[in-house]
Amino acid sequence: MQDYSTKKVSPSLVAEVIRAIESINAYGSVEIYIQDSVVPQISVRSIKKTTGNGNGERELRRERARKASEKTL
């Protein structure tokens, strides 16, 4: 295991962080854990955004209702 000290940041630690960031497609986060001035873990979280729920769905229903009411006039 490499020594990923936060006292003297090595190029290999920087490379690990860059690889973690580059691995995220569209949405996500990178967490860098530090324990006793050493980075023992880098966590990558990918987030998949969903569609068809929340405000987007409400807006779609409103638009459909508006169009339906225009057709009846």
Any idea where the domains of the chain sit in the sequence?
A: 11-72
Mind listing the pLDDT tens digit for each residue in 25-59?
889 999 999 999 999 999 999 988 777 556 667 77
Does the structure show a pLDDT above 80 at 14? yes
What is the pTM (predicted TM-score) of this model? 0.63
Question: Cβ(16)–Cβ(42) under 8 Å?
Answer: yes
Mean of pLDDT values over 6-17: 95
Cα–Cα distance between 2 and 4 in angstroms, integer?
Answer: 6
